[in-house]
Chain A
Amino acid sequence: MLARIAHELYWLGRNLSRAEHTARMLDGVFQADVQARSEEAGVTLSWGSLLAMMGGETDDSGVPHRDQVLRSLTLDADNPASVVACIGRAREGARTVRDVISQEMWESINTTNLELREGDLSERLRVGPYSVYQYVKERSALFWGLTRRTMLRDEAYSFLQAGGRLESADMMLRMLRVALAASGGGRDDGHALSLLQAVGGMQAYRRAVPGPPNAGPVVRFLLFERAYPDSVAASVDLLEQSLNRADDNPRNAEPVLRLLRLSADLEFRRRAEEDTATAPRLAEICEQVQAELGKVDRDVHDRYFAGAPAAA
């Protein structure tokens, strides 16, 4: 297929996935923040760290206000990291590839974009941000559901999936690294409920892991648990499968080889770090995995999009 189209699809997946993860994190942090921190707050996200991880800058006082962060990361079209900006870019990308994706997929993303631009979002955000984030989550699920149901499993599908999964893994690692850094690294037994809330993984965790949601087990779950669809390991596997299908000669493809190695490496680390890993050690693993995924991203651009105009 055309390198330019593959590039658009890959970034369509990335933008949508980024919007959803951002919405989930904002919702999770907001709900936690409205109430008092528990005595054993443990590993949490804060407004400041959320803003920083999304590349935003705090004002002079250095202490960001809740409403300011909510607004900036949700509605501010001038902030490229905001939810509306991500959805806007996804919509533009989808428009470019309307002939490749299904009509239903296009309509779902286009409607989402319209609603976010024209609805009275600012007011909704003021009275209760939950409804805004719920909308983004539902529309995102609708898009991916329609994709599975209506899109031909061709190369185009593979690049769309690959983008979505790479972004999921990257956002998850970003969140884990920021949360682990904020925990100070000393105690690693604090609760990490807020991390599960911020990705929507609370119930999955409780069904999968016996024992309380302490930081160590939660971070390991979000990193290594392949049975949880948003874990880093699950994303890496699906990313590898997508590229494997798309590539003419996967045995010879750097991104595929790199992902196969990373996938095996994650499994080895899971076994080695059973119950013993401290917060600094987990932070180190996250850093290494994220760096490796950065290389995968570069490999993908080099191998598949190099011919595309203005590819990064």
Chain B
Amino acid sequence: MILREPHVYRPQPGVFDEVFAPGGVPREYAEALVAELTKLGPAELAGAGRRRDAIFVQQGITFDATGEDGPVKDRPFPLDLVPRILPSHEWDHIKRGLAQRIRALNHFVDDVYHAREIVHEGIVPWQLIVSRPNFARQMHGIRPPGGVYCHVAGCDLVRDADGSWRVLEDNVRTPSGISYVLENRTAMTRLVPQLFNRYRVRRVDHYPQLLLAALRAVAPAAEGEATVVVWTPGSMNSAYFEHSFLARQMGVELVEASDLVVRDDVLYMRTTSGLKRVHAVYRRLDDDFIDPLEFRPDSLLGVPGLMRAYRSGSVALANAVGTGVADDKAIYHYVPEMIRFYLGEEPILQNVKTFLLGDPEQCRYALERMDQLVFKPTGESGGKGVFIGPSTPADELEGLRDVILRQPEKWIAQEVVKLSTVPTAGLDGTLAPRHVDLRPFAVFGEKIKIVPGGLTRVAMNEGSMIVNSSRGGGSKDTWVLDDGAGTDGDQASPDEVVNVPQSLPGLRYASWTGQAQQQQQTRAGE
């Protein structure tokens, strides 16, 4: 009953709540949602939650996580049924900022493996670039079709206490989560369609088509003849659900290393009717594993000779090899500079203030404020190794200080961002504020296209800012509103034209045996 008395839902002081303004009044764009949630009530919301878990387990929309009691297998993907709403002007801002950022990152990757202008200008030190674990020497001098390296990108965005958007992390290797965006939307329309009343929510289900079109666009093949595949490390990979989802949605083969073979600098897959040429690969494994001849020689998941074929231009890889140099946490610091340097524009989305601990000056400054900053190892992803100063005991911080001082160049420090909150349903259906971030997904083929919204991740514990699903975080359906008034839900939109062909025959029915005969039948048998 918490929503019937809105004052009971208390946005935390000093944190931006996206649904309730300070004082507990719903923001204008969220009024209809709050009204529908109130009508629904906690009990029904909790009931819908149980149906959701059953459906997700049935459909195999699950993942493996590390819970408090150790690893948990096949957990239903945690979707919170209260959506997150982004008004269209917010989204336009994010979209422009992301497109700008991804263009700059793409320029940077090209530059690193070719002219190195940004180094010669003294903006990013070469020493820093080559020491990044994901810098790929093998990529030197290779320029993929259209000069596109970052075909698929996902940046993690957060909202600060004043509601402004900031980029927390870039991801231009193999960002995952898009399958959950699509599945979450489908689940929402099935489980709580009434919440959509009075909103016009922009669709997300065209993502697989965008991706396929981008892969076809970069494939070295005549139009309409490109063979595209999705390459997975295998069914034991934690993101296998997503790999198979994308292959299914695009209608292309999902391959593993053993399905692929390189002959004469051309990539083929083994089929029942012999070898078949492959033109474009959407690969979901890291550079290190793709070709044992040029990267890790112990990789069993790779295809020997793939880099040779790639270099000859007979196959396109998405993302390109070596893009990891651009989403490194230490390089992140330079992205605003890159935008100015390559594009001659001011960054639309700001970074979170970051300190490179490899720099003695910045290191000293950061270590003096350990209890106020977040410390992250640069080579890791998925929140591994991160510690948050304000919530770490002082004696532990001392130990970490020594760890950092041993290899300061492997660490960065960032100011703590008070992530915004959105009402989130507990097990009993009552709502409480929980911190969220946002990972939008962009596809770069001929142009950069961004699916409206993205994956909103939510920390399910009170006060927690850890949103990673591998560490117990949940997700929300993200609604980007279409401009223009929403419909009433049960009203047809006014522009609808009912136009039935004149010659359409009516439905036919079998003629029934007459009623009188039926009555006689009942009597005749008595």
| B482-A36 in contact (CB<8A) | yes
Consensus secondary structure, chain B interface: loop
A213 sits at the interface (CB 8 A): yes
| B505-A290 in contact (CB<8A) | yes
In the complex, what's the smallest C-beta–C-beta distance from A65 to chain B, in angstroms? 5
Contact of A181 among B189, B201, B501, B513 (CB under 8 A): B501
| B506-A35 in contact (CB<8A) | no
In the complex, what's the smallest C-beta–C-beta distance from B298 to chain A, in angstroms? 36
| B500-A310 in contact (CB<8A) | no
A312 sits at the interface (CB 8 A): yes
| A53-B504 in contact (CB<8A) | yes
Number of chain B residues close to chain A: CB under 8 A: 51
| A177-B512 in contact (CB<8A) | no
| A128-B193 in contact (CB<8A) | yes
Residues A213 and B491 in contact in the complex (CB < 8 Å), given A54-B507, A181-B499: no
* 1/0 contact string of B201-244 vs chain A (CB within 8 Å): 11101101100010000000000100000000000000000000
B494 sits at the interface (CB 8 A): yes
Please name the residue on chain A nearest to B226 by beta carbon: A210
* 1/0 contact string of A185-211 vs chain B (CB within 8 Å): 000000001000000000101111111
Consensus secondary structure, chain A interface: helix
Residues A31 and B499 in contact in the complex (CB < 8 Å), given A38-B206, A309-B513: no
| A182-B492 in contact (CB<8A) | no
| A128-B190 in contact (CB<8A) | yes
CB-CB contacts below 8 Å: B479-526 with A: 482, 489-494, 496-501, 503-514
| A36-B492 in contact (CB<8A) | no
Chain B residue contacts of A54, Cβ below 8 A:
507
Please name the residue on chain A nearest to B506 by beta carbon: A55
Give CA–CA (A81, B248) in the complex, Å: 34
In the complex, what's the smallest C-beta–C-beta distance from B343 to chain A, in angstroms? 27
| A210-B224 in contact (CB<8A) | yes
| A34-B189 in contact (CB<8A) | yes
In the complex, what's the smallest C-beta–C-beta distance from A171 to chain B, in angstroms? 9
* 1/0 contact string of A55-84 vs chain B (CB within 8 Å): 100100011111110000000000011000
Residues A35 and B497 in contact in the complex (CB < 8 Å), given A46-B492, A66-B489, A309-B513: no
In the complex, what's the smallest C-beta–C-beta distance from A241 to chain B, in angstroms? 22
In the complex, what's the smallest C-beta–C-beta distance from A121 to chain B, in angstroms? 16
Chain A residue contacts of B508, Cβ below 8 A:
297, 312
A307 sits at the interface (CB 8 A): no
A296 sits at the interface (CB 8 A): no
Interface centre among B48, B498, B503 (most CB of A within 10 A): B498
Interface centre among B190, B249, B489 (most CB of A within 10 A): B190
The 18 listed contacts between A and B (C-beta, < 8 Å) are: A31-B190, A38-B206, A47-B496, A55-B506, A93-B510, A127-B44, A128-B48, A130-B189, A130-B191, A177-B504, A178-B500, A205-B251, A206-B248, A211-B224, A213-B209, A297-B508, A310-B511, A311-B511
Known interface pairs A36-B200, A66-B490; 13 further A-B residue pairs with C-beta atoms within 8 A, sorted by A's residue number: A34-B196, A35-B189, A35-B200, A46-B496, A46-B498, A53-B500, A63-B491, A128-B48, A128-B190, A128-B192, A184-B499, A203-B248, A310-B511
List B residues at the A interface (Cβ < 8 Å): 44, 48, 51, 185-186, 189-194, 196, 200-203, 205-206, 208-209, 213, 224, 248-251, 482, 489-494, 496-501, 503-514
Q: Which 8 A-B pairs have the closest CB atoms?
A: A206-B251, A48-B498, A36-B200, A130-B190, A11-B510, A36-B482, A52-B500, A207-B251
